[in-house]
Amino acid sequence: MSYKKLLTIQDISCVGQCSLTVALPIISACGIETCVLPSAVLSTHTSGFSGYTFRDLTEDMPAINEHWKSEGISFDAIYTGYLGSTKQIDYVLDIYSSVCKDGGLLVVDPAMADNGKLYVGFDMEFVEAMKALCAKADYIIPNITEACLLTGVEYKTEYDRTYIDEILASLIKIGCNNIILSGVSYSPDKLGVVVYENGKYSYYEHNREGKDCHGTGDIYASSFVGALVRGKNAYDAARIAADYTVECIKSTQAEDNHWYGVKFEPSLIKLIEAVNE
């Protein structure tokens, strides 16, 4: 197999099993050289913890990019997760144009909203900037809330295939040609992911697990990217990522003291096996 080099740009929560603390080991486990650019450093993630520290690294990003350019460093793929400001999105666009190889992949997880609402600190100016980044991407991985914000489609919790098709068509209009739409459910006990690639619609479904866990979106996106860059097609990468994420949730559900994240490490061997099939 060819040995790929990937750059992932997102924040790092030192404790909490999300963002870069899951992206780095998961993508590395897929057999990919994984380089990182932390957009911020937090002592913990922000859900359920109090008094956490936060260091914004926005102004370090251009100098890092310049150093990479001077060293002739380039990447086969760039994967972005949570970005904290419109300025960071602008810097990401500069980095993509500077150090991503010709024909390299840009995969964007527009991590900015869930359950019908933007995350705290974001506004519609940020959404517009994220829309511009998504339009440049080869693949985007939004949930339904994020897809609705990007397109102006009304957010709904009850819907059918026609509604999902409307979201997909609206994303295509803004320039998103390959879409991995997560959190799609056509029945109460099922959850799945819609894959739209090269004009083809596919849907992969699994049983809905009872407990919401912090960081599962990062685990899903990272394992999808790892499988994709290893050469899987989008549907197979989405399937592998969904199965792995469900396995991680199952291994965590019985442990009330592990409320802050998902135990993804014990199941890494299953991800490695799936990617290598």
> Which domains does the chain carry?
5-275 (3.40.1190.20)
- pLDDT of 1 above 90: no
Residue type, 129: A
Looking at residue 7, its pLDDT comes to: 98
Distance of CA 159 to the CA centre of its chain: 24
Spatial distance between the Cα atoms of 58 and 130, rounded to a whole number of angstroms: 16
Query: Element (H or E) spanning 183, and its range?
Result: strand 179-184
Looking at residue 213, its pLDDT comes to: 74
Mean pLDDT of 84-102: 97
Looking at residue 254, its pLDDT comes to: 76
Looking at residue 209, its pLDDT comes to: 75
Q: Compute the mean pLDDT over every residue in the chain, rounded to the nearest whole number.
A: 95
Dump pLDDT digits (tens) for 201-249: 999 998 887 666 788 999 999 999 999 999 999 999 999 999 999 999 9
Q: Phi and psi of 258, rounded to 5°? A: -105, 50
Mean pLDDT of 7-34: 96
Q: What angle do CA 122, 241, 219 make, to 5 degrees?
A: 45
Residues present in the chain in total: 277
Looking at residue 214, its pLDDT comes to: 80
Report yes or no: 83 and 10 within 8 Å, Cβ to Cβ: yes
Residue type, 141: I
- pLDDT of 250 above 70: yes
Dump pLDDT digits (tens) for 155-186: 999 999 999 999 999 999 999 999 999 999 99
Looking at residue 259, its pLDDT comes to: 83
Looking at residue 212, its pLDDT comes to: 67
Query: Element (H or E) spanning 28, and its range?
Result: helix 20-29
Distance of CA 114 to the CA centre of its chain: 13
Q: Is residue 38 classed as helix, strand or coil in its secondary structure?
A: strand
Contacts of 46 (CB under 8 A, 6+ apart): 52
Question: What is the band of 48 on the pLDDT scale with cuts at 50, 70, 90?
Answer: confident
Looking at residue 257, its pLDDT comes to: 83
Dump pLDDT digits (tens) for 120-165: 889 999 999 999 999 999 999 999 999 999 999 999 999 999 999 9
Query: Element (H or E) spanning 170, and its range?
Result: helix 161-173
Query: HSE-up of 129 (CA within 13 Å, CB side)?
Result: 18
Question: What is the band of 268 on the pLDDT scale with cuts at 50, 70, 90?
Answer: very high
